[in-house]
Chains A and B, each alone.
Chain A
C-alpha cells in the first residue's frame, strides 16, 4: 500500500475489450463521472477502448490526461493471457481451431493494455495500474454500498482465472479499508458461462440475452432440473463444477454447448424463429430455461448461506454480471440469512471501471474511506434547449413551463394512456434506466404492455416491464421482504405483486405474478418522485411502468438528439427533457422519400 494521505487524487478507471467498456473518474475518493462507451458511440455493448468515455469524464471535470494521478485498468491482461493459453493447451488437440483466433485476439491488442493506454492518453506507463477483475467487481459492490462491514460475492463468466469469488470487506473507523477475497472458483467452472450456455442454446445472444432466459423461465416448469444438474455438479466442499463433456466454450469458438448437451436437452432453438409458448417446442424451451434458472438460484443460495454462516455478517455485497439476475437475488435475500443485499447499479464489467478506481484510491493508495453518493447518475446531462431547437426545426411545438405545471400535465397525459419519453439530468451508469432516461406509461392493463412491445420496444412478448413506485408505498402493492427496499433501489430484485393488485398492475406483472420493481427515494430522483405522486392523485396508484429509453438493438439514449430521434421512430406520444416537452402531431411530420427525391 502506498500512503498518500490527504492530497487530492484524480484516478481514472477503465474497463474495456470484452463487453460493455466504460470509464469512471474518482476525485478525492468520490466518483464524479462514469459512462459506458456504448452510450456515446451508440454501438450496443461496445467493447472497444473507451476513448470517448474517457474524454467525456476528463472534459466534464476540466482535466487533461496529464492531470491524472493514476489510471487503473480493471483486470490483469497477462494473467488473462495465461488462462487463455493454458485452456488451449489443456484441450489440445480439440482447441486447434480456437487457438489461432484466441491468439490473434489477445496478441493483436488485448495483451498490450499499458501501451495502448499510454499512447492513447499520452501518459507515462508508470501511472497505469491493474486491478484484478473480481477485485474490481468486489470493490464496485462494496465501496459504493452504504455499509461498513459486509460479505462479498462476485460471479460472472470469467475474469482472469476466477469465475466466482467470496470474501469480506470492512471500512474501519480510522478510515482504512480492507477487501479480502477468501476463495475462488476457477475457469472453466463458471456460473456465468453455465447460464450463457443455456442462453445460446435457447437462441439468444450471449452477454445480451441472459435476461430473456430469466423472463422466459417464468413461463416454464422446472421439470428438467435433474438433467441440468448432470451438467453442473456440486462438489464436496460446497462449490460446483461443470461436466465439461456437455460444454464447448473452453475449446471452440463456434459453440458453447456440445453434441452431448444437445443429446440431453434436444435440438437448440434457432435464433431466427420466434418462441411460440403455445407449442410443445416453445414449452420445452421455457421448461429448460426454468430448470437452468432454478439450479442457478439453488447454487447461489447455498454458497451465500454458507458464507453468511462462516462470516456471521448481516450485509452481503454482490458484484459481477450474475448479480443482474433479480430472481436469484430475491432468493438470496430471503433464504441465505443475510439481512441486506447490496447490488450496485452497474454490477457488470462496466462497473469495474468505477470499482478499479475506488480500489486504487482506498487500498492501493491507502486513502481514507469516503461515503459514495448512493445513486447511479454519473453520465452526461440533458440539454432542454436542444430539444426546443430540434422540435422547432421540425415544425413541432415545444412547450416550456415551470416544473410543477409540467409534472401535473405529464401526469394527466399518462393517466390518459399516453406513453412518455422521460429525460432528466445525468445519464444512469449501468444497464437499468432508473428515472433519467426512461419510457414511462400507465401500468394498469395488459394492452399497454402489448402496445409497448409492438410499437416501441419491438421485442418478444414474454419479456416483462418493470414498475417504479415511491418507497413509502411499495408495501401496499408488492410483497417486499425485509431488506427488499435496498435491493429494489436499483431494480436488482424481483418481488411478488400482491394478488389483489395484479389485475390493476397487469402491464408490469409477469406471468408468475412478480415484478422487477424500482423503489424510488425522493432524494435520489425528486422530479420522478413528484410525477409518481401526481399520477397517484389521478389514478389512485402512484405506480408507473418504467422501461429503458431505447429501441431494440440500441443503447439507452444519452443526448436529447438521441431521445428525439427515438421519439420520432416509435410510438412514444410525448417527449420530456427537463422543462421542455414535445408532442407528436400525428404523422404529419413524416417525410416520404418519394416526395423529396
Chain B
C-alpha cells in the first residue's frame, strides 16, 4: 500500500509552496496535540503517567517548533503569492494528535491506547513523507528527527498501558481502533452532509433568493447613514427571541 501511495505523496510534497504550508499546518497540529497532552497530565491521578505525559507534551512542542522553523525557512525562499490556496491538503495529513478525543472524557488506559495508535499512524505517515523528500534534505531531516520521537512515544505509551491495565492491552487497543474508525466515519459523513447541504443551499440561493435580494437592496438604499433612534418600548420584554 505504501509503495502505491508514494507517487501521490511525491506529487503532494514536490511543490515547495505546498510543502511550506503543510509544515506550518503540522506545527499547529503538534502544538494542539501538546496542549491536549498537558490537559491529560493535569487530569490524571497517576504521578508516573503525569510525568510521561508532560515529557511527551514537551516533545510535541519541540516538534511544532521544528516544523514551524522549517516551514518559515521554506517560505522565505518563495515569491509572495496572495492567491495561495489549500487545495488537496487533506491528502497528506499530519499527526492527528488527540484532536479526536475529549481528554476529559477518557480514562488513563483508553487515552494511552489512543495515543499509541495515533503515534503509530504518525510514525508510518512521517516515514512515508521522509521517503519522498529526497530532493529536500533539510525537510527530510526534520521528519527523521521527529520520527525517532514518535517511535519512542509508541514504546512508552504501550509500556504505560501494560502498567496501568495489565493484561488488557489487546482489548483496549482494539476498542481504540474501532473508535478511530467510527470517528473517521463520522468525519466523512459530516463532510458529505456538509457538501450536500452546501449544494442545496447554494441552489436555493440562486433560485429562491433573487426577488428577496432585490427588495432587500431597495430597502437598504432607503436607509439613512448614521444613528438609528431606538424606540422607547419593546426592548425590556425578555420573552421574545425576535
Contacts and interface: CB of A to CB of B under 8 A. Distances in A.
Given A79-B241, A79-B242, A364-B238, A272 B47 contact: no
B96 to A, nearest CB: 17
Given A184-B228, A553-B31, A129 B52 contact: no
Contact of A553 (B35, B41, B210): B35
Contacts of A484: none
B75 interface: yes
Interface in B82-128: 82, 104
B197 A100 contact: yes
Given A89-B209, A100-B201, A180 B225 contact: no
A185 interface: yes
Main secondary structure on chain B at its contact with chain A? helix
Interface string B120-145: 00000000000000000000000000
A72 B238 contact: yes
Nearest to B195: A100
Contact of A569 (B38, B50, B51, B202): B38
A590 interface: yes
B205 A272 contact: no
A78 interface: yes
Contacts of B149: 593
Given A90-B213, A593-B152, A235 B241 contact: no
Contacts of A77: 241
Interface stretch (A511-519, A541-549, A560-568): A560-568
Contacts of A394: 47, 50-51
Given A104-B201, A185-B228, A76 B242 contact: yes
B156 A596 contact: yes
Contacts of B72: 272-273
A597 B220 CA distance: 66
B167 to A, nearest CB: 21
A132 interface: yes
Contact of B239 (A129, A238, A262): A129
Contacts of B236: 1, 363-364
A165 interface: yes
Interface in B11-52: 24, 31, 35, 38-39, 41-43, 47, 50-52
A132 B235 CA distance: 7
A394 to B, nearest CB: 7
Contacts of B212: 89
B198 interface: yes
Interface string A74-94: 001111001000101110110
B59 A184 contact: no
Interface residues of B, number: 59
B56 interface: yes
Interface string B51-73: 11011111100000000000110
A354 to B, nearest CB: 15
Contact of A90 (B35, B51, B217, B225): B217
B227 A114 contact: no
B171 interface: no
A239 interface: yes
Q: How large is the interface on A (under 10, 10 to 19, 20 to 34, 35 or more residues)?
A: 35 or more
Contact of B205 (A99, A236, A363, A562): A99
Contacts of A523: none
Contact of A562 (B42, B216, B235): B42
B225 to A, nearest CB: 5
Contacts of B228: 183-186
Interface string A206-244: 000000000000000000000000000001111111000
Contacts of B31: 553
Contact of B229 (A183, A241, A359): A183
A500 interface: no
A92 B213 contact: yes
Contacts of B217: 89-90, 92
Contact of B216 (A90, A364, A593): A90
A594 B58 contact: no
A185 B197 contact: no
A593 B54 contact: no
B100 to A, nearest CB: 15
B153 A593 contact: yes
A561 B225 CA distance: 53
A310 to B, nearest CB: 12
B118 to A, nearest CB: 15
A69 interface: no
**A41, A86, A565 — most chain B CB neighbours (10 Å):** A565
A394 B240 CA distance: 55
Given A78-B241, A78-B242, A237-B226, A100 B198 contact: yes
Contacts of B197: 100, 104
Contacts of B52: 591, 593, 596
A393 B51 CA distance: 10
Given A104-B198, A591-B51, A593-B55, A76 B240 contact: yes
B4 interface: no
A367 interface: no
Interface in A424-440: none
B225 A235 contact: yes
Identify the 8 closest CB pairs spanning chains A and B, nearest first. A92-B213, A89-B216, A393-B47, A235-B226, A129-B238, A100-B201, A597-B156, A239-B226
Given A78-B242, A186-B228, 6 more contacts: A394-B47, A565-B54, A593-B59, A593-B149, A593-B152, A593-B153
7 contacts: A42-B35, A89-B217, A92-B205, A100-B198, A272-B75, A591-B55, A593-B55
Interface of B: 24, 31, 35, 38-39, 41-43, 47, 50-52, 54-59, 71-72, 75, 80, 82, 104, 149, 152-153, 155-156, 159, 194, 197-198, 201-202, 205-206, 209-210, 212-213, 215-217, 220, 225-230, 232, 235-236, 238-242
